[in-house]
Structure 1
Amino acid sequence: MTETPRTSQLVDPSLLLSLQRMPQQFMAYSPDEDWSGVTNPAARRRLQNRLNQRAYRLRRQGQDKRATQTDGAHIESAGHHHPTPVPTPAKALAHHDSITCGLSELQHLECTFAPPNIHDLMAQFERRAMARYAEGSPKTDLLLNLSRLNVLRAAYQNVVAIGMTVEWMCQDSTISIFSLARPQHGEHSIPQSLQPTPLQRTVPHHPWLDIFPIPQMRDNLIRAGKDLDDDELCHDLTAFWDTRRSNATMLVWGTPWDAENWEITEDFARKWRFFLRGCPEILISTNKWRARRGEKPLLWKRVFGNQ
């Protein structure tokens, strides 16, 4: 009886093609998460956002693990015969700023309002700011631009706290996950001040508008619709690279999802007053910080007049 040839005997191995997963499939844990071929735009964006969040978390875990291994190797190599020197105040300040101002270490995608070399500008600015701070001679222009760098950092931190990614926020055409569907993780994990309002759920908008920790502020921006020049607002708040900008900006003094850590300048209040209507929290917080500096309180009447 003649033996039937097996498949492996019929096919030349050199002619076999190696099938590989497509890039968008690498983060998918099941076929249901593969957005290839999904024609519904909302469903496709929802799946893309889920995979973007997963990829971001994995990258952060890898960075944390490498940092831990590096620190452990450094301690082990030092041994007991080479005690770590006590840092000087200047070194301690520089180390502190390298942690709190390490925004340029994040993977930064192009934003429509930012120059293409923003990553390099962030690194250069941080070095200048830390050097001036360590010397005890900070310049006023650096302080104003540092406030904008802090707002950019706050935006990044808040968008991640909400459940989105920096990459998602930096893309011009993305829509807030609150407008697409409920966040993939429970909303109980979102800080109270950042939890979505009914308007955020029902009106499609860019995730940039979700980062402010005062609900009425977010609603004011969403209601403005096409009347809002969001590129101009972005520029006022975060354009640390532009030394020609006015004093119309916000300041963040601590945990970015705590509204009490945000402050507005008087120029910002006048320029963007529609954004502040019905938001007494920001006035209270602003005057708290102004009082600490010995400045006169900001009065709503001076901002809104008789309107």
Structure 2
Amino acid sequence: MHMGLTEELLCEDDSPSPFFRFSANSVNQATAERLISSVQGTFRTLKPDLRPISEQITTKHHPYIDILPFPTLRKNILCHLDDFDEDAFFDDMLTGLLCWGGTGMAKGDRAQATGCVSTGTPWDFRSWEATQWFLEKYWNLLGGEDGELVRQSQWWRGVRGDPEVSPPVDAL
């Protein structure tokens, strides 16, 4: 199964997520839980890291959030939409995130990757690494040291022998 996202849908500012259900907020708790479960069941064939969490079903949002293979990050974005500049975050992702793995990139080119090259499996959070500046800037939104992207970025840094990124002072 696919998510039902097209390039046009992702590029349009006002596009709705295919996971969002307006009615989830206008019914009683038990009905909302059944609706959430039903939507999650519909998308159970998606790769595990891309399956919708309850917040994606109950919170109106742009579909770019749906393609992030980090459930903690998706939840935090949706719970804090009014607390950060979403456009700046989107722009920062373009240069602050790298997708590693697979074939197609020469070893010498890996050090020069800009975030535009993707040879890994983008639906698996283990393929991703955030740059140090991105981790520091969005530490809390990423879920801190327990967030999938932070943990995986620390792992990639360890593989290269780079030091771990410490939590920013304002995150403590």
Same fold (TM over 0.5): yes
Paired residue for 1:289, among 147, 156, 166?
156
d(CA) in 1 for partners of 2:82 and 2:150?
26
Determine if contact 2:61/2:78 at 8 Å carries over to the other structure.
yes
Q: Return the match for 1:216 from 54, 68, 72.
A: 72
Residue 195 and residue 306 in structure 1: after superposition, are their counterparts in 2 closer, same or farther (change >3 A)? Answer: closer
Q: How does 1:6-85 map to 2 (within 5 A)?
A: none
Shift of 1:191: 0.9
Q: Which amino acid in 1 is paired with 2:3?
A: I
1:200-279 alignment to 2 at 5 Å? 200-238=56-94, 249-253=96-100, 254-277=120-143, 279=146
What are the residue-to-residue correspondences of 1:159-198 with 2, within 5 Å?
Answer: 161-180=2-21, 186-198=42-54
Q: Distance in 1 between matches of 2:151 and 2:139?
A: 15
> Aligned AA for 1:163?
G
Contact 1:270-1:304 within 8 A present in 2 as well:
no
Q: Gaps (5+ residues) in structure 1?
A: 1-159, 240-248
Take 2:169 and 2:16, find their aligned partners in 1: how far apart are those partners?
32
Q: Does the aligned pair in 2 maintain the 1:209–1:218 contact within 8 Å?
A: yes
Q: Give yes or no for contact 1:179–1:204 (8 Å, CA) kept in 2.
A: yes
CA distance in 2, matches of 1:273, 1:287: 12
Query: How far is the alpha carbon of 1:198 from its aligned partner?
Result: 0.8
Percent identity, aligned pairs only, is: 32
Instruction: Give yes or no for contact 2:140–2:171 (8 Å, CA) kept in 1.
Output: no
Unaligned runs of 5+ in 2: 23-37, 101-119
Please report how far the alpha carbon of residue 224 of structure 1 lies from its aligned counterpart in structure 2 after TM superposition: 1.3
Q: CA RMSD in A?
A: 2.4
Listed one character per residue, the Cα deviations across residues 235-262 of structure 1 (whole Å, up to 9, x for unaligned) are 11226xxxxxxxxx12111101111111
**Structure 1 residue 290: deviation in Å?**
1.2
Q: Distance in 2 between matches of 1:303 and 1:256?
A: 27
Note if contact 1:161-1:191 (Cα within 8 Å) is conserved in structure 2: no
Separation (CA, whole Å) in 1 of partners of 2:147 and 2:50? 17
> Residues 306, 237 of structure 1: CA spacing in aligned structure 2 closer, same or farther, 3 A cutoff?
closer
More helix by share: 1
Return the structure number with greater relative CO, CA threshold 8 A, min gap 6.
Answer: 2
